[in-house]
Structure 1
Amino acid sequence: MTTDAEVTFRLEGGAGKIVTVEAPAMILTGGVSDAYHPPGAPSSAFLTTKDQFSVDSWCLPLSKPPRPLSVPKAAPTLAGIPIAASAPLTHWAPSTQKVTIPSGGQKVAGGFVSQKSAIQAVGGELITWGNSSQGGTRPNEAQNKQFAYAHMGESAGVAITIQGELIAWGNSSNGGTLPTNTKEKKFAYAHMGGWAGVAITTQGELIAWGNSSYGGTLPTNTNKDRQFAYTHMGHSAGVAITTQGELIAWGDPNNGGTLPTNTNKDRQFAYAHMGYHAGVAITTQGELIAWGDSSYGGTLPTNTNNKDRQFAYTHMGRDAGVAITTQGELITWGNSSNGGTRPNEAQNKKFAYAHMGGNAGAAITTEGELITWGNSSKGGTLPTNTNKDRQFAYTHMSGWAGVAITTQGELITWGNSDNGGTLPTNTNKDRQFAYTHMSDNAGVAVTTQGELIAWGNSVNEGSLLPNNVKEKKYAYAHMGEHAGVALTLP
């Protein structure tokens, strides 16, 4: 990035304030990071620098900003903006640019977006494909509307228009049908899980729907005297953080729906993620906690939070969890065969990003090296010479395979070939990729020119895109278990 750019934010406690920050800096525009979605991110950019914490309007301020880690020097770009799918609590991308945050801006679903930024993943058409009963058919109410955000769960999808309207579709029992009281509200963020969905209104109210036993029903008085800033829905339970840093969980009590006693005592939380059987969270002081099924990530190793560690990032997979400290140390826990045991090659390396899938994990070092571990037939083993002459900027794991993007925009996959582990011939010919996501059955990716591609199991997932896809350019895409969703560029 060689030219100046202006990015607009709403500053918490000081809307309209002008802040100038010197590089190094990282810009994330809505939709590029699936690993960590700050509430409001789908409709607002966000920036973090080496010396101060994010000024994103929906992020909780940390009492002590964590020390950031460097990421590879180059990164894929989309319309000139570097894309780094790393956690806002942690990472920054070296640059020579000064970024000015001006007052004003366009209000979208409770956040603000830049009027001058090169990318605005706002105002796009909603496109779906795949199994028609599991989210693959676009709802009629999406016609002639512009969308700021979309997310596909296991059997249903959810999206937010630029006016803040929330819509859902797919399997009605598992999140495809919204409660009747959502029509009069405006929404800032939503997430679809395995059996249910969750969303936050622009006023900070938390809403859940879907299967009541697996996250679709909130505890009584959840919204009493609370405003929510962040939420995430896992396979059968949900988690959320209030603007005061309180952590709550609900859903299946055996798989993360119940927090340990005194979880919130003397703590404020900055981030949380719910997996298949367990949840994980980081406090504003960098403490890591986990809960849920102890065999599959619900219990941390002894001395995880020793005095020499502060955690900056974490992710919970199906059977195990992964986290990175502010010093770049990688730790894993959970089922040892499916990602819970840290690989020997992770010793003495510093990490910038990691992602845990269903049976294996992947991580990128601060030098851009990609490593994997876990079940070798389901993504735990990389192809030979994967790191030769490459630096990686992003990776994502599913239950059967993995996908990654190099700093030069090359897309690579590995793992089970029937479920996304093998790319179509000539995928990388004359293309650079900016974003990718993978489900248990298939993967999807967007090039720097806005081209959308999908691959994998076409029977279960619908990796075959609609015929009219090639006529459009895309800003974002997300793959669910049986269907995919994408937003076009405005």
Structure 2
Amino acid sequence: MESVQTQIQNKDGNQNIAQQEQPYDGFLYTWGMNSGGCLANQKKNKERLFLLNLSTGGFFGAAISSKNELYTWGETKNGRNGHQPNQNFILVPQKIINLQNISQVSCGNWHCLALNNQNQLYVTGHNKYGSCGLSGIDEIYGFKLNDTISDIQIQSISAGDGFSLYLDINKSVYSSGFRLMHGNKEDQHQYQIKKIKELEGIAIKHINSGFCHAAVVTQEGGELYTWGSGNFYQLGHGNTKSLKTPQKINNLSGIEQVSCSRGEKNCHTIATHSNGSVYSWGSGYKGKLGHQNSWSHEDPADESRPRLIQYLQDKGITITKSISGGIHSAVLSKDGKLFTFGCCSDGRLGHTKAEKRVYLYKEALPREIQGPFLNNKIIDASSSYYFMAAIAES
């Protein structure tokens, strides 16, 4: 049976949300700027998939099926989606033939990481700075086993822009890649996967790589460590100082999960507390921190330290996952509803744009997406700078 796709069009004619039907209970939705086929919404896919989780990167995406097979789509440049660059774009999700038993996938801006159920790491894409943890090769076209870390049992992966983070079964954090982002003091690119020395002896439960900053959450107490560029207060330490090594954010604990923004400018961070509340900080560009501040270019409403999103608290909305885009944000509630806020240009919020307000349209408070999956529980969601994707039950 062929998959069924539905296009929701705005008044300006641009695509906003595309639905691809899946068997059993799963639906894949994408919305935002459709560059390089990143929305994967061409009506040519004859294979029906039930997707479990997904990741979005620089104009490409990836998802894992119920059979633990990896599918990717979008731009092939630099080998980022794991398909050979004999065509510029993959317009519908295509299976990576040589990979099996995949349990996790993480899309960076120019590279992609995949982990199988035997803790083996596969890498593809741009590796000039060592983001894939291999030396002597700038581009990797097709997923390649990183066999340099046979002594490390990785259980979690996170791909950023030119760097990557890895969490092993002993709760230790490793990294590779760009010199200002790998978290170690050495002022040079890190072409091999190495332990972050500043975090030695600290058990970590969650890692996240953004475009130009990173964060980890401790196992005990849910404390948060950040490093990288601090130009927009995104590190949460009360200043715009950049840090080469992880530093703990004072007076913040109980965090379960964190998400660092996917853009080079107007950076922010958003984190989920164990009680279901959400904190955000950094650039307040177009209301993407969710505090309903009166944003303007003259007064950007930045937050230099973590601030509770009071609106979600007042509404009694319990959040399980926070998601940072580039100039927008999203949160996924316990009951499977997806809320977005910030800049809505290119349809990235998934809300119908008001006429004649295409670029200026923004949401200063978290707003539930009212669309084709209104009555379907969202089981996972992800965002890159320009587009978002979600998997919903039918």
1:197 paired to 2:129 = no
Residue in 2 aligned with 1:289?
Answer: 225
Q: Judging changes above 3 Å, is the alpha-carbon distance between structure 1 residues 202 and 309 closer, same or farther for their aligned structure 2 residues?
A: same
1:398 Cα deviation after fit: 3.9
Q: Deviations over 1:148-186 (max 9, x none)?
A: 223322211101111111121211125222589971431
Q: Judging changes above 3 Å, is the alpha-carbon distance between structure 1 residues 376 and 483 closer, same or farther for their aligned structure 2 residues?
A: same
Q: TM-score, normalised by structure 1?
A: 0.48
1:206 maps to a residue whose letter is L
2:228 maps to a residue whose letter is G
Q: Judging changes above 3 Å, is the alpha-carbon distance between structure 1 residues 479 and 265 closer, same or farther for their aligned structure 2 residues?
A: closer
Unaligned 5+ residue runs, structure 1? 1-119, 329-350, 364-369, 427-442, 452-473
> Mapping of 1:189-338 within 5 angstroms?
189-213=104-128, 216-219=131-134, 222-254=148-180, 256-260=181-185, 262-286=197-221, 287-295=223-231, 297=234, 300=237, 304=248, 310-313=253-256, 314-317=258-261, 318=263, 319-321=267-269
Unaligned 5+ residue runs, structure 2? 1-21, 85-94, 136-146, 186-195, 240-246, 303-309, 355-368
1:235 Cα deviation after fit: 3.1
Q: Judging changes above 3 Å, is the alpha-carbon distance between structure 1 residues 478 and 142 closer, same or farther for their aligned structure 2 residues?
A: farther
Q: Judging changes above 3 Å, is the alpha-carbon distance between structure 1 residues 216 and 186 closer, same or farther for their aligned structure 2 residues?
A: farther
For residue 133 of structure 1, give the secondary structure of its aligned residue in structure 2.
coil
CA distance in 1 between counterparts of 2:316 and 2:128 reads 43
Q: Deviations over 1:128-162 (max 9, x none)?
A: 56626242335978723332223322211101111
Q: Judging changes above 3 Å, is the alpha-carbon distance between structure 1 residues 358 and 162 closer, same or farther for their aligned structure 2 residues?
A: farther
- Counterpart contact for 1:356–1:362, Cα < 8 Å: no
Residue in 2 aligned with 1:37?
Answer: none
- Counterpart contact for 2:326–2:386, Cα < 8 Å: no
CA distance in 2 between counterparts of 1:166 and 1:124 reads 15
1:190 Cα deviation after fit: 0.9
Residue in 1 aligned with 2:7?
Answer: none
CA distance in 2 between counterparts of 1:233 and 1:199 reads 10
- Counterpart contact for 2:105–2:115, Cα < 8 Å: yes
Q: Judging changes above 3 Å, is the alpha-carbon distance between structure 1 residues 194 and 212 closer, same or farther for their aligned structure 2 residues?
A: same
Give the one of 291, 294, 306 matched to 1:371. Answer: 291
Q: Judging changes above 3 Å, is the alpha-carbon distance between structure 1 residues 416 and 482 closer, same or farther for their aligned structure 2 residues?
A: closer
1:226 Cα deviation after fit: 1.5
- Counterpart contact for 1:122–1:148, Cα < 8 Å: no
- Counterpart contact for 1:122–1:147, Cα < 8 Å: no
Residue in 1 aligned with 2:102?
Answer: 187
CA distance in 1 between counterparts of 2:72 and 2:56 reads 10
Q: Judging changes above 3 Å, is the alpha-carbon distance between structure 1 residues 194 and 214 closer, same or farther for their aligned structure 2 residues?
A: farther
1:133 paired to 2:65 = no
Q: TM-score, normalised by structure 2?
A: 0.58
Q: Deviations over 1:191-245 (max 9, x none)?
A: 2122121121111112222211366522465532121111122233221101111
1:203 maps to a residue whose letter is Q
CA distance in 2 between counterparts of 1:159 and 1:147 reads 6
> Mapping of 1:348-363 within 5 angstroms?
352-355=277-280, 359-360=284-285
Q: Percent identity?
A: 17
Q: Judging changes above 3 Å, is the alpha-carbon distance between structure 1 residues 162 and 379 closer, same or farther for their aligned structure 2 residues?
A: farther
Aligned residues: 301
1:257 maps to a residue whose letter is H
- Counterpart contact for 1:392–1:405, Cα < 8 Å: no
For residue 149 of structure 1, give the secondary structure of its aligned residue in structure 2.
strand
1:267 Cα deviation after fit: 2.3
The answer to which of 150-159 and 122-131 deviates more is 122-131
**Structure holding more strand per residue:** 2
1:412 Cα deviation after fit: 7.0
Residue in 2 aligned with 1:171?
Answer: 75
Q: Deviations over 1:329-351 (max 9, x none)?
A: xxxxxxxxxxxxxxxxxxxxxx8
- Counterpart contact for 1:208–1:216, Cα < 8 Å: no
Residue in 1 aligned with 2:26?
Answer: 124
- Counterpart contact for 1:282–1:289, Cα < 8 Å: yes
For residue 164 of structure 1, give the secondary structure of its aligned residue in structure 2.
coil
Q: Judging changes above 3 Å, is the alpha-carbon distance between structure 1 residues 390 and 410 closer, same or farther for their aligned structure 2 residues?
A: farther
CA distance in 2 between counterparts of 1:390 and 1:142 reads 42
1:188 Cα deviation after fit: 0.7
The answer to which of 151-160 and 308-317 deviates more is 308-317
- Counterpart contact for 2:70–2:96, Cα < 8 Å: no
CA distance in 2 between counterparts of 1:388 and 1:478 reads 23
- Counterpart contact for 1:316–1:356, Cα < 8 Å: no
1:391 Cα deviation after fit: 4.1
Residue in 2 aligned with 1:80?
Answer: none
CA distance in 1 between counterparts of 2:313 and 2:228 reads 39
Q: Judging changes above 3 Å, is the alpha-carbon distance between structure 1 residues 281 and 233 closer, same or farther for their aligned structure 2 residues?
A: same
1:151 maps to a residue whose letter is S
